[in-house]
Amino acid sequence: MYGRKVKLRFFFIFLILIILSLSVFLILKSLEENVVYFKSPTEIQTLTEINKNKIRIGGMVKENSILIDEKKLKFIVTDFKNDINVTYTGAIPNLFTEGKGVVAEGYLKDKKFFLATKILAKHDENYMPPEVKSALEEK
Amino acid sequence: MKIKFYPAFLILIFFIIFLIFYKGLQNPNTYTPSVEIKKNIPEFKVKKFKNEKILNSKDIFLDNKFYLFNIWASWCVPCREEHKYLMKFKKDKNIEIIGLNYKDSDENANEFLNELKNPYDIILSDLDGTIAIEWGAYGVPETFLIHDKKIIKKIIGPINEYSFIEIEEIIK
Amino acid sequence: MASLIGFYSLFSGLLCSIFVIYFSIINFRNSKILDKKILIFTFFQFFFVIISFFALIISFVISDFSNETVFNHSHTTKPLFYKISGVWGNHEGSLLLWLVVLTLFIYLFLIKSKEQKKNYKILTLLFQEIIIIGFFIFLIKTSNPFNYIFPIPTEGLGLNPILQDPALAIHPPVLYLGYVGSSIIFSSALAGATLNYISKDWARHIKKWVIISWIFLTLGILLGSIWAYYELGWGGFWFWDPVENVSLMPWLCLTTLLHCILVLEKKNILTSWVVVLSITTFMLSMCGTFLVRSGILNSVHTFANDPERGLFILIFLFILIFLSLFIFFFIFKNSNKNPTNLFWLSKETSILINNWFMMYFLAVVLIGTIYPIFLEVITSEKISVGPPFFQKLIIPFLIPFLIFMAIGSQLKWVKSDLKNKLYLVLFFIISLILTLLIIKNLKINFLTNTVLLTAAFFLFFITVRDFFKKEFKNLSQNIAHFGFSLLILSILFNNIFSTEIISNLKIGETINSNKIQINFESINQKEKQNYKAIIGKFNIKDQYGKNQILNPELRIYNQPNIVTSEADIKTNLFTDKFITMNLVQNQDYFNIRYQIKPFMIWIWVSVIIICFGGTLSLFKRNYEN
């Protein structure tokens, strides 16, 4: 039979394995819950169902589409094929201008209407989020 | 067996990570500004090169004609690379080449043209770089293909063999 | 001219490195003492690199636009301070800075470890030279800072104005000192592993280096965070952005290593673990450089990037990884005679447990950062991992982490008992009551928050108690742990008590919200050296009826043409009042964001306290036993 020390060793290895697999499971599960997918307006049109999850949309801010009042900012995101209306309350980054790329994070109400909770800014005016770039290229 | 297993396993894992990073590098995130297709050309007033005459953009770009609007500077090294393609375009009667001399001194620009020959039909001078900004240019060199007062193609960086052929196809 | 000197000096530096390697190999086999030539050439290697660095600084200061780096990143109207900081604000210059620190550290290492064995020193030097030569080649081949442009442009392209900030100007050098310090630990651990010299002596000797790099890394992260707080205008100090995570990962690893080194020094156990941690820390630093510089990451912080450079670092990184794997598995023999014998109630056990928690945090951050890259390559699905992921996975586990941290410091090495430990329970109850009192007055009532607050208070009280009780035996540790508890407390209070008002206002309008009144009185313009400022005047009446004027700014830089907003922050001991304004294109409205952030200053102060604790331990006498 095994000695006491060996038994203890096995017990520890067993414990570590359990903890490891538990944390891997935990990480993967919350990864699944917390990733934010990126969609272009065209991809949204082809969706079969409207998901409750947070997503990001990206494209160009359509020219002359910005409307603003005290509480809300409204604008249209376009990939030159499909448009989507965005309503947003919150801080607006400086690089947010018509005719430039934008990424908005929030929830889809339906295929034409998006409620944004965040507009993402980049430090560099020449930079466009890579997602937007490829979304525009695919059109 | 046990001793050999761990390193082999780890090496395999790291190798896979390497491959994935390597693949990830292949689609780099560097952004080349997208083509704003069929966008109208901006209107501007501009001074002619080596001349005090002020030109209006409406008088430069006419309808039903192809133009190549090329932003260049004598201090720009890649401009020398693309020069030979501009010279080829010059022989083509379908297209007119308009140069915008960007943030340059007249003497240096002149030297450049004397050294390499002048491919341009008209040269405009943009001393403070404001016109280039109006065009949404990102750097030097940059080239716009214009038809019917609309930008139909934009090349960032020097013209190469590929973009040369592409433009030739369009203007035929 | 300066460029020319810089370039040739860089080459001379590379030549010196080759000489160093050559003499080291000869010296390794033959003599008993360290060859003087090695020391001289190591010095010259540093000397040439620093000359080349100064040459670049001079080119920036005199605005020598015949240098491509200067042309791309500088402008004549830029203030002198930012001309100098522009040297390392770009890719080429920052790599040169890496090289400066690398060569400086190895030279200091050689002269500071006279009492060490000759072969160990030479091997460390050799491993370090591999890294140095790798960086030399990288610099000269793919990102030469001294490229020449002709004809000479009359004006430069400028530096991204958002980077023109004092905190950011010193952030990279400090962070690099931390990163590069870990390279010494890496080389020395590999050398120690090859010679089977990972022991108490080694731990005592390398401990200084670990602490120094740890202090710099902590300060570097702090500076970056301060910059993000007042420059990005979001009012946060940590966004779980990939670029930030990349600096957090080596920190987690280095902090773990710091504690393990202490255990190794005391008990001569955990040898392999220490080697693994030393290697991992540096690999994570390199990996950070790779991820940031290659542009593979999708981040709010963008860097000019070039896939060729990324490829070079990637290959270099993996060469180092495989080299370390080889040494660790095939050469390193764990010559540990003492069996790993841990009593369940002892200081080292609690350190070990918290090590595992640290590794878990590291795994979370690592996975959250690189998972999007993996997913995109495998499925070409584009995703991002948001802050909730990190918060959800890290915050609950901070609770046991803090408790072990508090209890661990009360235990003795080797074996401890539960006698006279009743006060621990007492303190815990006090913390719990205090927390409940605080939470009760608020609307929110999250279970995790309550328990976490309790745990943080617990650590706080225990460390405070130690200040009065102990005879300054573990002062540095106590200060650092006290700082950490203060950090967690400030972050928690900051999160719980923050309020925010976001609105779009025209000039002259007033908004009322939560008893706070914001009146947008006027704007005026000012011309500055390299930008035009639009300064808003806001009259804010807080809930106690007190008026305060805040003046956020919009800056329109002339070269390059960029608009940035400067927050106006009024700081006092308890709260920060933070306001930013943004212009919305073609509209009369300004987007206003007003935030009240309690205990903001304490976040910075507590990190400085942590660093102070670390610094103090450098001056402590070595343990004699």
Q: How far apart are CA B128 and CA B109, in angstroms?
A: 15
The C-alpha of A43 sits at a distance from chain C's nearest C-alpha, in angstroms, of: 12
C401 lies within 8 A of chain B by CB: no
Contacts of C570 (CB under 8 A, 6+ apart): C548, C550, C576, C577
Comparing alpha-carbon positions, the chain C residue that sits nearest to B128 is C155
Contacts of B19 (CB under 8 A, 6+ apart): none
Mutate to test the interface with A, among C360, C504, C506 (most CBs of A within 10 A): C504
Average pLDDT of the segment spanning C610-614: 93
Banded model confidence at residue B36, pLDDT cuts 50, 70, 90? very low
Q: How far apart are CA C138 and CA C312, in angstroms?
A: 7
C512 lies within 8 A of chain A by CB: no
N- to C-terminal Cα distance for chain C? 58
In a domain, B76, yes or no: yes
Domain count, chain B: 1
What is the homologous superfamily of the domain A37-137 according to CATH? Nucleic acid-binding proteins (2.40.50.140)
Touching subunits for chain A (3+ Cβ pairs under 8 A): B, C
Peptide bond into C560 cis (omega under 30): yes
| Tens of pLDDT, residues C220-246 | 999 989 988 877 766 778 888 888 899
Asked if C510 and C520 count as a contact pair (C-beta separation under 8 A), the reply is: yes
Does the model's pTM come out above 0.90? Answer: no
Contacts of C77 (CB under 8 A, 6+ apart): C529, C530, C558, C559
C300 vs A26, A105, A121: nearest CB: A121
Q: How far apart are CA C53 and CA C61, in angstroms?
A: 12
3 state DSSP class of C539 = strand
Residue B118 sits in a domain of what CATH number?
3.40.30.10
In a domain, B23, yes or no: no
C-alpha count within 13 angstroms, C-beta hemisphere, residue C18:
8
pLDDT at position C164 is: 75
C302 vs A33, A35, A127: nearest CB: A127
pLDDT at position B31 is: 37
Contacts of C233 (CB under 8 A, 6+ apart): A91, C565, C566, C567, C580, C582, C593
Q: Which of residues 316-355 of C touch A (CB under 8 A)?
A: none
| Tens of pLDDT, residues C181-235 | 999 999 999 999 999 888 888 998 999 999 999 999 999 999 989 988 877 766 7
Strand partners, C148: C67
In a domain, B20, yes or no: no
Q: How far apart are CA B113 and CA B104, in angstroms?
A: 13
Query: Which chain B residues touch C329 with a CB distance below 8 Å?
Result: 3, 6-7
| Tens of pLDDT, residues C70-107 | 887 888 878 888 888 888 888 888 889 999 999 999 99
Q: How far apart are CA B99 and CA B121, in angstroms?
A: 8
The C-alpha of C161 sits at a distance from chain A's nearest C-alpha, in angstroms, of: 9
Q: How far apart are CA C47 and CA C10, in angstroms?
A: 10
Answer yes or no: is pLDDT of B30 > 70.
no
Residue B26: what residue type? Q
Average pLDDT of the segment spanning B89-107: 83
Answer whether A127 sits within 8 Å of B31, measured CB to CB. yes
Q: Torsion angle, CA of C193/C197/C201/C206, rounded to 10 degrees?
A: -30
B2 lies within 8 A of chain A by CB: no
Answer whether C295 sits within 8 Å of B74, measured CB to CB. no
Please list the pLDDT of chain A residue by residue as tens digits (139 residues).
Answer: 556 777 777 888 888 889 888 888 888 888 888 888 888 788 888 877 777 788 888 887 887 888 887 778 888 888 777 888 999 888 787 777 777 778 888 888 888 889 998 887 554 444 444 555 555 554 4
Residues in chain A: 139
Answer whether A128 sits within 8 Å of B31, measured CB to CB. yes
Domain ranges of chain A: 1-35, 37-137
A-B CB pairs within 8 A amount to: 16
In a domain, B13, yes or no: no
Residues in chain C: 625
A99 lies within 8 A of chain B by CB: yes
In a domain, B165, yes or no: yes
B24 lies within 8 A of chain A by CB: no
pLDDT at position A127 is: 44
| Tens of pLDDT, residues B109-164 | 888 888 888 888 888 888 777 777 677 666 678 888 888 777 777 776 778 777 78
C505 lies within 8 A of chain A by CB: yes
Query: Which chain A residues touch B31 with a CB distance below 8 Å?
Result: 126-128, 130, 133
B80 lies within 8 A of chain C by CB: no
Comparing alpha-carbon positions, the chain C residue that sits nearest to B16 is C374
Q: How far apart are CA C569 and CA C590, in angstroms?
A: 18
pLDDT at position C504 is: 84
Query: Which chain A residues touch C393 with a CB distance below 8 Å?
Result: 26-27, 30
Query: Which chain A residues touch C157 with a CB distance below 8 Å?
Result: none
Average pLDDT of the segment spanning B27-34: 42
Number of neighbouring beta carbons within 10 Å of residue C64: 20
Backbone angles phi, psi at B32, to 5 degrees: -105, 120
Unique residue bearing structure tokens 């040439």: C48
Q: How far apart are CA C254 and CA C190, in angstroms?
A: 16
| Tens of pLDDT, residues C104-152 | 999 999 988 888 888 899 999 999 999 999 999 999 988 888 888 766 7
Contacts of C495 (CB under 8 A, 6+ apart): none
Comparing alpha-carbon positions, the chain A residue that sits nearest to C506 is A70
Q: How far apart are CA C278 and CA B106, in angstroms?
A: 59
Average pLDDT of the segment spanning B68-94: 82
C310 lies within 8 A of chain B by CB: yes
Banded model confidence at residue C253, pLDDT cuts 50, 70, 90? very high
pLDDT at position C625 is: 36
* Residue C488: C-alpha distances to residues C38, C212, C602 (Å): 47, 23, 10
CA pseudo-torsion sign C242, C243, C247, C250? positive
Banded model confidence at residue C295, pLDDT cuts 50, 70, 90? low
C367 vs A27, A68, A96: nearest CB: A27
Closest residue by Cα to residue C22 from C3, C38, C39: C38
Answer whether A133 sits within 8 Å of B37, measured CB to CB. no
- Domain range for B151 is 39-171
Comparing alpha-carbon positions, the chain A residue that sits nearest to B138 is A126
Burial class (CB in 10 A: 0-12, 13-18, 19+), C571: middle
Query: Which chain B residues touch C242 with a CB distance below 8 Å?
Result: none
B138 vs A99, A126, A133: nearest CB: A126
Peptide bond into B119 cis (omega under 30): no
Residues in chain B: 172
